[in-house]
Amino acid sequence: AQSVTQLDSQVPVFEEAPVELRCNYSSSVSVYLFWYVQYPNQGLQLLLKYLSGSTLVKGINGFEAEFNKSQTSFHLRKPSVHISDTAEYFCAVRPGGSARQLTFGSGTQLTVLP
């Protein structure tokens, strides 16, 4: 079984400041890792993913994340945030193989302040 911990439920940050949203996971098998964003009253939009290869992955809207296998972490970063980045962010893992079951963290509400 897998589990995901998002260490911060709320992160307020001023516009143009950098931000890091933390995600740690636990799994006895190899996993794929994802970050999704959810805007109010909408579904989930994929920000970025780690399936294999380079541990530094770049996504949409200037976000990036680094897979650290030894620390079982997949933290999301952006060097300069905008008001429009205000949303809830979810980290998720999926075991390798044919299973499509995503296990999600509890989410981090990012609020960008003017």
Chain contacts with other proteins (rule: CB under 8 A): 32, 34, 36, 42-46, 49, 51-52, 90, 92, 94-107
13/104 with CB nearer other proteins: 104
Question: Smallest distance from the beta carbon of 94 to other proteins, in angstroms?
Answer: 7
* Secondary structure class of 8 (helix, strand, coil): coil
Tokens of 68: 């650290």
Tell me how far, at minimum, the Cβ of 18 lies from other proteins, in Å: 26
Q: Regarding beta strands 87-95 and 31-38, do their DSSP bridges make them parallel or antiparallel, or are they unpaired? A: antiparallel
CA distance 79 to 56: 15
- Per the listing, tokens 């400041």 go with 17
Q: Is the Cβ of residue 6 or residue 73 nearer to other proteins in the bound state? A: 6
